[in-house]
Amino acid sequence: MRSIITPISPEYPRIYSVADLTRMIKDRLEQEFPLVWVQGEVSNLRSPHSGHCYFTLKDEASQLRVVIFRSYYQAMRFKPVDSLKIVCRGQLTVYEPRGEYQLLADYTEPLGVGALAQAFEQLKARLDAEGLFDSRHKKPLPYLPHRLAVVTSPSGAAIRDFLQILHRRFPNIQVLVYPVRVQGAGAAEEIVGALRTLNTMPDLDVIILTRGGGSLEDLWAFNEEKVARAIFQSTIPVISAVGHEIDFTIADFVADRRAPTPSAAAELVVRPLEELQLELQRLSLSLQRRFLNLLQQGRERLRLSGHRLKDPRRQVADLRLRLDERAEQLQRLWQTKRRDAAAKLRLAAARLSLLSVRRRSEGQRLLLQQDNRRLQQVLRRRLSDHRRLLEHLTDRLRPLNPAAILARGYAVALTLPDRAVLRTSQQTAVGAPVLVHLHQGALRCQVTSITDETLPLPTK
């Protein structure tokens, strides 16, 4: 209920409270401007953890605060950025706690450029910066796939053209058609679900993502971020064949290969059977020629080396002579090593007798006792030095103790109530309270007079 203050004097009109006046302005503003379109330049854009979007829309003469609530902001394909000129649609309202009017926007688009085109460029730049288009992530296509899957609309012309060309080039290949919607609401979700399901199937070599041409709005399902990430996460190579040759989608940049048309995808994924047969014949003839050449070279090497072949019995005799010679060498070497080892053993035994365990332990015990005595002497000397130093420092600090000074008859005067130390008579005034600290107890006094005369201090 509005509270109106009754005027005291009849010459004044009725007086509103700030809250009532703000609420009336809010009601009038929302009634007069239920839906408006405003254009301007974005500045001071921020999006806190709440998910809402706040920015200022300005031109040469004025500025307007704009708020986009999270539910609208997350659903927007185009996101405003600083310094961009845009068009906003929304409702004017007043934020009552600050008395500021603002626009509650539910739609934005760039000025002079379509929202879809701008959203396409924004997503493309962001995914490119993340590395989703990097060639090092592209998976190679198999030379001859045995089983492939096509994600598309089963009623479109794209699947008919694809299958016709594929079966003409290689009729024995297995094709799995995974039906999805390729445009409209829910199409992106179905495409993502298809890619994830196909990645769980065994013996699948390639996935072809295809549809016919259309406008940017028709192809937008293939520009969704969720579709791009599903393609990037696929462990099976993905070929994107969306639209006509001049059409480009985000899926084309993320996929392992792009085909300009569905028909070109069929030509890309598999080579014609006749071409493969000719390639096989060519490789077979090349292999035969290579084998015959190697066989001829082997025969020639055998013929040239035939005159150098020795009688096996002579080779065995030579090996026996070498074996006897090596055995004698090993016998002499073993005897030499044995003599050296015996001499080293005798030398080690002599040294060991000189260094008995008992003799070494006795010497170590005597050294330990000597070190212990020296250590005790050093500790006693250092302890005595530190004790004398402590007594000396105590004697020097004792006269500086404030309690000792007060005990000699001195006192400390403090101002009240802030308890500041009085060092000069100018720090107080006649009638001011003063707290005087003595050696034992304190005096609460009042200044009766002030003099600059310096009185003699007590000597005892």
Among 202-211, 352-361, 362-371, whose mean pLDDT is lowest? 352-361
Give this prediction's pTM.
0.45
Question: Who has greater pLDDT, 389 or 276?
Answer: 389
According to the model, what pLDDT value does residue 310 have? 57
* Arithmetic mean of pLDDT, 257-279: 76
Averaged pLDDT of the chain? 82
pLDDT band at 198 (very low <50, low <70, confident <90, very high): very high
pLDDT band at residue 53 under the 50/70/90 scheme: very high
Please report, rounded to a whole number, the percentage of residues in the chain having pLDDT higher than 70: 88
Neighbours of 160 (CB within 10 A): 12
Q: Is the pLDDT of residue 452 over 60?
A: yes
Residue predicted with more confidence, 340 or 458: 340
The pLDDT, as a whole number, for residue 230 is 93
- The more confident residue out of 179 and 109 is 179
End-to-end C-alpha distance for the chain, whole angstroms: 84
Least confident of 10-14, 119-123, 392-396: 10-14
CA nearest neighbour of 448 among 459, 427, 434: 434
Quick one: which of 77, 80, 171, 153 has its CA closest to 117?
Answer: 77
Check residue 309 and give its pLDDT. Answer: 53
pLDDT confidence bin for 194, thresholds 50/70/90: very high
pLDDT in tens, 118-157: 778 888 888 999 998 898 989 988 877 888 999 998 887 7
